[in-house]
Amino acid sequence: MLEVRNLTKIYDGGVLALDNVSFSVEQGEFLAVIGLSGSGKSTLLRCINRLVEPTEGQILWNGVDITAASQDELLRIRRKIGMVFQHFNLVTRSKVITNVLAGRLGYVNTGRSMVNRFPKSDIDMALKQMDRVDITDQAYKRADELSGGQQQRVGIARAMVQEPEMILADEPVASLDPVLAHSIMQHLDQINKEDGATVLCSLHFLDLVHQYADRAIALNDGLLMFDGAPEAIDDEKFKEIYGKEAERVG
Amino acid sequence: MKKQRSLFKSIGLGLGILLVLVVYAYGFQVTQVDFAETSSEVRLTQLSRILRALAHPDIIEFEQEETIAKTPIYLPCPEGGLELPEVDTSEPYLVTDVACAESKENVIVEGYHLPSGSKGPIHFLTASGANLQLGNFVVAGDGTFRESVRMPTRQPVAEAQYIRATARVPVGAPMLTDTAIVTWDKIVETVFLALLATTFGTLLAIPISFLAARNLMSEIKYSLTSVALTILGWPLGIGLGLLLTRWLAMLSEKLSANSLLTAVSMVIIPLLAYALFRWILPLLGQKQPGVFVRISRLFVYLLIAASGIIFLQLLAQSALTVGQALIEPLGPLGFLGGFIAQLGDVLNISLPVVVALAGGAVVGSPMSALGQRISDRYAARFVKIINIVLSAAAGALLFILIGAAINWFYQINDLYKVLLIPGGVGALLGILLAVRTDPKDLMPLGSTIYMITRTILNAIRSVEPLIMVIVFAVWVGIGPFAGVLALGLHTIAALAKLYSEQVESIMPGPLEAVQATGANRLQTIVFAVVPQIVPPYISFTMYRWDINVRMSTIIGFAGGGGIGFLLMQNINLLNYRAASTQMLAIAVVVASMDYISSSLRKRLV
């Protein structure tokens, strides 16, 4: 259970990115976050694992206040939250398997990980998760030799080896073509259904929201505009979320 | 309106041009530009003499066969006629057109029966036995030459003096001259000087570059309690570390007095440490260790650390002994023994420093964590009181340390001025800081370290290695080692800056992704930063290597060893042919190192 209470973020320079946002997510739910570019979706997701430090408000996850966690506690919270990015954010010069194993960093001994020595069980787990997203063949290639869709699957495998209880996906399919987009969304769906991880996924296309999400929230200019089932987004709601000139495209 | 503005504009432009002219005119005056000097005859003859010498580098020579012919000449003509001896025309001989001459008079000298193709100098042999070179000659195919020479200005001498021609023919294979051999020795020294300076500089610049990277450091923020405890903890830990090494050094000195004992303890100590480690291993996994476990764990850690230090001290000592013992028997490979001994020395010198820093970290980082925990857990008012006390102490300590440093330079030696005043001022500033800030505010510790590092680097970088080497030559003596230290120090400063700029320009995405997995700061650096900076680091290191090769060729001008010292000597002795050899060697080395590094760079990056 994730509870966001009165979350506000003001960046240095006075930009108000999130304005008193409150919502909650059940464990195992697939929540879509929609809204225009710049509406605060990325900031919201990054506040949850405190890659961005919230200005005000609380984020309670299974009863623990993430916003009040000390540095050490935060590392232990983060290792249970996988994150998937729009631009994949792989270390392109490293091997695929190294990128995936990076997901284990929160669990392994610092000294051993410095010299790239991971326990056998971790390597097995990495290979297993890579098999689930079908990139085992690429394990020992450099990450920048892979295509976009493959790179995003590496990103998902990296999140999966964290044995996450929650996945934060920041527009995971925005840089991919529609066919690849569906395959990536299916992988996220798989983590959600098979592993029982909560998924918070920001999306641009409403058909993807309809197809994969249990529930959707919408942001506009940092304000929470909508919280409910995807089917409840009718034309009126749509215009409220995306502005009056917006047209639905698929 | 428009016209007026354009008028102003043209006046402004005119004034601007005038100003530029004045600037350049003054520049000519200050730099004493004098183009007439470039075409003055005296200067030109000197210049052509030097350029010709430079064009004949002193590299190869031949064994030479000399044929000498001489003829008497009177300077000036004696009163009462002169007596000429019979010339033996079967041997090589010289003839002059006159038998006697005045000073500065031109005389024609002809030589016969000389080896054809030979050449050499024509000398005037004075009555006192000195040789004055009058000119040179080349013998034609028929074994003769004819040269007009000018008599030197001499005091009148009654008896005959001589004109001598030395005809030389090269025989046998070409040989390297002494100059060439010395130059080779020194150029090797130069290249290794550059190599060592680059290596030392790079090794130290890498960790420092992380401290000087804004994007990594600006995130490091701790509460005031934590910062104050860190400032108090580090010097304490450094002091304890130094004490520990000194104490253990006494112990290992006793052990190393006996070589058998040394060998035995060098085997036993690692085994002991390993056994301790195995014994402690199960205790490490405990989630909630009790007090007894914690204390015994700490104790075992200390024991392991102490045995490690003793082991390294023994290792250093035995490397020193073994290395020195090896120099004699190894013969020409004796430098390997010297190397081992030097490594032992390096270990000996660096061990206390490393242990002191480690001690600082061991005491400092838990104290920092403790401070963070205090400010996280307790009420603001309580934290504020603690902050006031701690930051007063930390401020006082910091300023007393600065006071001690100033005292070292200026030798004030007044307890009141170097201890009490800085202590008081520091404590006051600390209290002020603690009172003015919110007790739970995070202090930009990382940014402060960043600023200090950058300032020091900039200060070091602004001093040329040619100047630094003067200080080092005083410290370690004139020679290549002083050059290594000076170039190395400058390399640290220059590379750390270039490196840190590369760290600042890495892509933030992977950094964010690795942080999101729960990786700590060190892991983030190793997994997200290092892979991104390897190519630029290699390329900057090579760039610096090129610079260091160039610098090492002239660092000898200021006492830093290498070929520069030789070059300067030869220039000062007006020995331009030897200087030319050295310049040629420098050109060849610099060009070939440039080529090697650029082709390596192509392959690596």
Architecture of domain A1-80+164-250: 3-Layer(aba) Sandwich (3.40)
Instruction: State which residues of chain B have pLDDT below 50.
Output: none
DSSP A142: B
- Residue B603 CB burial class (10 angstroms; 0-12, 13-18, ≥19): exposed
Mutate which of A89, A100, A122 to disrupt the B interface (most B C-beta within 10 Å)?
A89
Q: Indicate the residue of B372, B509, B519 with minimum beta-carbon distance to A71.
A: B372
Mutate which of B374, B375, B517, B538 to disrupt the A interface (most A C-beta within 10 Å)?
B517
Give the pLDDT confidence score for residue B287 in this predicted structure.
Answer: 57
Which is nearest to A190 in space by CA: A168, A212, A174, A170?
Answer: A212
**Contact list, A49 vs chain B (CB under 8 Å):** 516
Collapsing DSSP to helix, strand or coil, B164 comes out as strand
pLDDT at A5 over 80: yes
With CB atoms and an 8 Å threshold, state whether A83 touches B513.
yes
Q: For Cα atoms B355, B357, B362, give the angle at the middle one, nearest 5 degrees.
A: 90
CB count in 10 Å sphere of residue B413: 8
Residue B250's identity, in one-letter code, is: M
Phi first, then psi, for residue B109 (nearest 5°) are -110, 130
Give the pLDDT confidence score for residue B103 in this predicted structure.
Answer: 83
Q: How far are the Cα atoms of A151, A204, B473, B528 from residue A89, in angstroms, in the given order?
A: 9, 19, 51, 10
Note the Cα B228 to chain centre separation in Å: 38
CA distance A32 to B329: 78
Q: Containing H/E element for A30? A: strand A30-34
Which chain B residue has the Cα nearest residue A170? Answer: B513
- CA contacts within 13 A on the Cβ side of A121: 3
Looking at chain A, which residues constitute the CATH 3.40.50.300 domain(s)? 1-80+164-250
With CB atoms and an 8 Å threshold, state whether A93 touches B523.
no
CB count in 10 Å sphere of residue B280: 17
Give the pLDDT confidence score for residue B28 in this predicted structure.
Answer: 92
Give the pLDDT confidence score for residue B74 in this predicted structure.
Answer: 86
CA distance A145 to A176: 16
Phi first, then psi, for residue A80 (nearest 5°) are -95, 0
Mean pLDDT, residues A113-120 taken together: 86
Residue pLDDT, tens place only, B66-111: 888 888 888 888 777 677 777 778 888 888 888 888 888 889 999 9
**Contact list, B372 vs chain A (CB under 8 Å):** 70-71
Q: Using beta carbons and an 8 Å cutoff, which residues of A are at the interface with B? A: 49, 51, 70-72, 75-83, 85, 87-94, 98, 102-107, 110, 113-114, 155, 158, 162, 168
Give the pLDDT confidence score for residue A245 in this predicted structure.
Answer: 75
With CB atoms and an 8 Å threshold, state whether B514 touches A70.
no
Higher pLDDT, A37 or B5: A37
Give the residues across from A21 on adjacent strands. A7
Give the pLDDT confidence score for residue B299 in this predicted structure.
Answer: 83
Q: Are B73 and B160 in contact (CB under 8 A)?
A: yes
- Give A250 to chain B, closest Cα distance, Å: 30
Give the pLDDT confidence score for residue B222 in this predicted structure.
Answer: 86
Residue pLDDT, tens place only, A47-103: 999 999 999 999 999 989 999 888 888 999 999 999 999 999 999 989 999 999 999
- Residue B172 CB burial class (10 angstroms; 0-12, 13-18, ≥19): exposed
Interface predicted TM-score of the whole assembly (ipTM), two decimals:
0.93
With CB atoms and an 8 Å threshold, state whether B518 touches A93.
no
Q: Where are the domains of chain B?
A: 2-33, 62-176, 178-204+464-605
Mean pLDDT of chain A: 90
**Contact list, B520 vs chain A (CB under 8 Å):** 75, 105, 110
With CB atoms and an 8 Å threshold, state whether A89 touches B515.
no
Note the Cα B120 to chain centre separation in Å: 45
Give the pLDDT confidence score for residue B286 in this predicted structure.
Answer: 58
Residue pLDDT, tens place only, A197-249: 999 999 988 889 999 999 999 999 999 989 999 888 888 888 888 877 777 66
Q: Indicate the residue of A70, A89, A91 with minimum beta-carbon distance to B376.
A: A70
Q: Which fold has domain B178-204+464-605?
A: MetI-like fold (1.10.3720)
Give the pLDDT confidence score for residue B583 in this predicted structure.
Answer: 92
Note the Cα B37 to chain centre separation in Å: 38
With CB atoms and an 8 Å threshold, state whether A155 touches B516.
no
CATH 2.60.40 is the classification of domain B62-176? yes
